[in-house]
């Protein structure tokens, strides 16, 4: 190759490098000089080729050149495939979670809600710069929204620093770091809990056209839904409100029937008898396909056990004594829910205990109406037993008199009441009956899995399966048991034998190559 051709090729490549740098620096704002540089580079390379056309023709015919071109073509093909795969993966994000506990996936309930979205959900997080670094609160929430975005293109996350963007913070009335606002169509909501359950419940709030109404009966010594004291149900009300339910109280002294807009009727721990017209009003509600959450306590003078019998469940009105409760440092009358139904939407997947104070045993009613299906949801431990009454500190089991556990504490019933003359055919009711009401109280609702049991029961009865409580996922530990012999084999095998084998094989290969 002549000296002039070398100079032209060198200049051509210099011009092309300058053109590439200019393209990257200017972005989309391409000035005419950029195209001039590109033209000069191409012109220099073509001039060098035409100057020594014979040399380049002979070079192209050489065997090494052909192999080199084949290798270059192969490299270009592989590069093109990789670029294409990366482009497709960027445009169509798909994540796979191979962990046993699905720690990096969202729940089925959340996935169902996302599939029903028909418009974009704008998620605006107001975090400072420190919260957005790796491991910060904002970064963790962004990782959560990425899981949502992997299921639908309708979830859009944007982060703002309210100090740097006070205009946006003022628009959404944000006054503190760590606030997240979501917007769907014309509705807005604040995410109070930056977990999957809190985010999903906020999504339900803004996507639901109308909240369902839960009526809580009062006037017979029931737990007060408005009270924040230990025996009240204020926390339970807050959890239901956070799950997009409107909570109202119902007094049969003010109206003689259950309102037609009731999605669910809750009776929690009545201490005084109901009048016959009140029992009849609840029965009428069940006859027309109502949903009842009934929590009763042993050793009370209430006659509401008639309602449990209507749905085919016998409230034994005894006491469950649980030695497991004693082992936990609690009273022997503290019953522990230890086993659960694996088929019910309420308790499926439960893997921890539930706690009940002064619980009574439940059983399917002998001679219950046909067509009613009873399912045991929560049962006590095998070490529990029932006692007809509590006398002082006497909690010992009497063989042949006290029934041995496990005993049913919570049960569900589905079916139809017996048809009555002169009335339309009955509709299918659903009921959950608990042998204790204190697990709903402010004192116990956050204990163990009581929260999940309470909210799952409400969601199941109100036909909101997507609202079934989303339990936090925790990694399960894997235990490897190694005997003393196995320890010795591992020690000598890894520390002595394996290095010796590597040394011998390496020396053997070296010697064979040396003497070849």
Q: What digits encode the pLDDT tens for the residues 171-204? A: 888 888 988 999 988 888 888 778 887 888 788 8
| Spatial distance between the Cα atoms of 432 and 362, rounded to a whole number of angstroms | 11
Q: Is the pLDDT of residue 434 over 90?
A: yes
**Residue 29 confidence class, pLDDT cut points 50, 70, 90:** low
Q: Please check whether residue 458 is in contact with residue 240, taking contact to mean a CB–CB distance below 8 angstroms.
A: yes
Q: Is the pLDDT of residue 108 over 80?
A: no
Q: What backbone torsions phi and psi does residue 216 show, to the nearest 5 degrees?
A: -110, 120
Among candidate residues 241, 221, 223, the one with its CA nearest the CA of residue 232 = 223
| Spatial distance between the Cα atoms of 459 and 470, rounded to a whole number of angstroms | 12
Q: Is the pLDDT of residue 395 over 70?
A: no
**Residue 380 confidence class, pLDDT cut points 50, 70, 90:** very high
CA–CA–CA angle 15, 19, 23 (5° rounding): 175
**Residue 465 confidence class, pLDDT cut points 50, 70, 90:** low
Query: pLDDT above 90 covers what percent of the chain?
Result: 29
Output the pLDDT for position 360: 92
Contacts of 420 by beta carbon, 8 Å cutoff, 6+ apart: 287, 426
DSSP character string of 414-454? EE-PPP-TTSPPPBPEEEEEES-SGGGSTTTTTSTTHHHHH
Q: Is the pLDDT of residue 408 over 80?
A: yes
Q: Is the pLDDT of residue 280 over 90?
A: yes
Q: What backbone torsions phi and psi does residue 137 show, to the nearest 5 degrees?
A: -60, -45
Output the pLDDT for position 217: 95
User: Is beta strand 408-415 parallel, antiparallel or unpaired with respect to 384-387?
Assistant: unpaired
Which residues does residue 125 pair with via DSSP β-bridges, in sequence order?
159, 180
**Residue 208 confidence class, pLDDT cut points 50, 70, 90:** confident
Q: Give Cα separations from 427 to 42, 372, 430, 448, 499 (angstroms).
A: 83, 12, 10, 36, 77
| Spatial distance between the Cα atoms of 415 and 287, rounded to a whole number of angstroms | 10
Q: Could you tell me which residue, 108 or 166, shows the higher pLDDT? A: 166
Looking at residues 266-281, what average pLDDT do you find? Answer: 93
Q: Could you tell me which residue, 374 or 65, shows the higher pLDDT? A: 374
Give the pTM. Answer: 0.65
| Spatial distance between the Cα atoms of 412 and 410, rounded to a whole number of angstroms | 7
| Spatial distance between the Cα atoms of 82 and 137, rounded to a whole number of angstroms | 35
Output the pLDDT for position 314: 93
E-strand ranges in 100-202 read 121-126, 155-160, 179-184, 187-190
Sign of CA dihedral 396, 398, 404, 408: negative
Residue position matching structure tokens 């009731």: 262
Residue position matching structure tokens 């001679």: 367
Whether the bond into 332 is cis, omega within 30 of 0: no
Output the pLDDT for position 259: 93
Helix (H) or strand (E) holding 276: helix 276-287
Q: Give Cα separations from 307 to 78, 211, 431 (angstroms).
A: 72, 27, 10
> How many residues does the structure list for the chain?
516
Looking at residues 421-431, what average pLDDT do you find? Answer: 91
Output the pLDDT for position 103: 63
Among candidate residues 331, 300, 293, 337, the one with its CA nearest the CA of residue 317 = 300
| Spatial distance between the Cα atoms of 426 and 296, rounded to a whole number of angstroms | 25
Looking at residues 66-92, what average pLDDT do you find? Answer: 82
Residue position matching structure tokens 């499926």: 348
Q: Is the pLDDT of residue 370 over 60?
A: yes
Taken in order of first residue, the domains within the chain and their CATH numbers are 3-91 (no CATH), 108-204 (3.40.30.10), 212-467 (3.40.50.880)
Residue position matching structure tokens 């402010």: 442
pLDDT in tens, 158-169: 999 988 898 998
Whether the bond into 406 is cis, omega within 30 of 0: yes
| Spatial distance between the Cα atoms of 236 and 244, rounded to a whole number of angstroms | 13
Residue position matching structure tokens 């390379």: 45
| Spatial distance between the Cα atoms of 501 and 512, rounded to a whole number of angstroms | 17
Residue position matching structure tokens 């982060």: 159
């Amino acid at each position: 190759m002549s000296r002039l051709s070398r100079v032209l090729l060198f200049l051509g490549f210099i011009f092309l490098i300058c053109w590439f740098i200019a393209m990257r620096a200017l972005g989309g704002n391409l000035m005419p000089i950029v195209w001039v540089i590109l033209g000069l580079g191409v012109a220099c390379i073509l001039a060098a080729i035409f100057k020594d056309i014979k040399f380049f023709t002979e070079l192209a015919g050489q065997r090494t050149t052909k192999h080199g071109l084949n290798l270059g073509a192969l490299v270009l093909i592989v590069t093109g495939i990789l670029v294409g795969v990366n482009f497709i993966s960027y445009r169509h994000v798909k994540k796979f979670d191979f962990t046993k506990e699905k720690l990096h996936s969202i729940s089925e309930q959340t996935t169902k809600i996302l599939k029903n979205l028909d418009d974009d959900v704008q998620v605006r997080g107001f975090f400072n710069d420190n919260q957005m670094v790796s491991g910060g609160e904002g970064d963790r929430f962004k990782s959560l929204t990425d899981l949502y975005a992997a299921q639908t293109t309708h979830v859009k996350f944007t982060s703002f620093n309210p100090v740097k963007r006070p205009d946006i913070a003022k628009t959404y009335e944000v006054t503190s770091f760590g606030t997240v606002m979501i917007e769907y169509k014309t509705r807005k909501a604040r995410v109070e809990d930056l977990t999957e359950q809190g985010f999903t419940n906020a999504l339900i709030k803004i996507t639901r056209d109308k909240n369902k109404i839960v009526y809580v009966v009062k006037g017979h010594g029931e737990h007060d839904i408005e009270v924040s004291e230990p025996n009240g149900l204020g926390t339970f009300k807050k959890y239901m409100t956070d799950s997009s339910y409107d909570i109202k109280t119902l007094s049969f002294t003010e109206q003689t029937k259950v309102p037609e807009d009731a999605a669910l009727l809750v009776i929690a721990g009545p201490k005084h008898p109901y009048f016959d017209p009140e029992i009849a009003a609840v029965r009428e509600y069940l006859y027309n396909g109502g949903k009842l959450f009934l929590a009763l306590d042993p050793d009370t003078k209430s006659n509401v056990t008639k309602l449990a019998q209507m749905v085919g469940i016998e409230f034994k009105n005894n006491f469950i004594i649980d030695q497991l409760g004693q082992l936990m440092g609690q009273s022997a009358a503290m019953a522990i829910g230890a086993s659960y139904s694996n088929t019910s939407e309420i308790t499926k997947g439960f893997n921890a205990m539930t706690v009940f104070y002064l619980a009574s045993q439940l059983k399917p009613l002998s001679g219950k109406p046909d067509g009613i299906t009873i399912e045991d949801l929560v049962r006590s431990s095998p070490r529990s037993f029932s006692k007809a009454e509590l006398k002082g500190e006497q909690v010992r089991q009497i063989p042949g008199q006290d029934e041995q556990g496990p005993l049913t504490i919570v049960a569900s019933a589905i079916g139809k009441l017996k048809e009555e003359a002169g009335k339309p055919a009955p509709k299918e009711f659903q009921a959950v009956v608990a042998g204790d009401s204190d697990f709903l109280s402010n004192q116990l609702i956050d204990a163990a899995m009581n929260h999940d049991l309470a909210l799952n029961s409400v969601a199941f009865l109100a036909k909101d399966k997507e609202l079934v409580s989303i339990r936090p996922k925790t990694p399960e530990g894997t235990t490897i048991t190694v005997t003393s012999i196995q320890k010795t084999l591992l020690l000598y095998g890894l520390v002595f034998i394996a290095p010796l084998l590597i040394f011998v094989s390496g020396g053997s290969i070296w010697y064979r190559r040396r003497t070849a």
